[in-house]
Structure 1
Amino acid sequence: KKALKAGGYDVEKNKTRLLIAIKRLVASKTLVRNKGSFKLNK
């Protein structure tokens, strides 16, 4: 979220889209949970 906000993306307006995208990436194992944050899978 911080990186998107720094790039000029309206995070508050598109919060639900972000949540859905994050859930989809975790389900497809592209993102991995890491103690309260996420990292890209190798």
Structure 2
Amino acid sequence: MESIYIILLLIPTFIVYGLGIALAILAVKCMLKYLREDKNH
């Protein structure tokens, strides 16, 4: 029974980490795009 509670506690943390990683990747992509546009102009 204890393992079920551990899994239920881990699921939200994995979701939060996943969202954080996704936001970081999007931020990096936007930064690179912005830097490329600055170089062109």
TM-score range, shorter chain: 0.3 to 0.5
Query: Which of the two has higher C-alpha Rg?
Result: 2
Question: How high is the TM-score relative to the length of structure 2?
Answer: 0.41
Q: Which has the higher strand share?
A: 1
Q: Which has the higher helix share?
A: 2
Question: How high is the TM-score relative to the length of structure 1?
Answer: 0.40
Tell me: higher relative CO, structure 1 or 2? Use CA pairs within 8 A at least 6 residues apart: 1
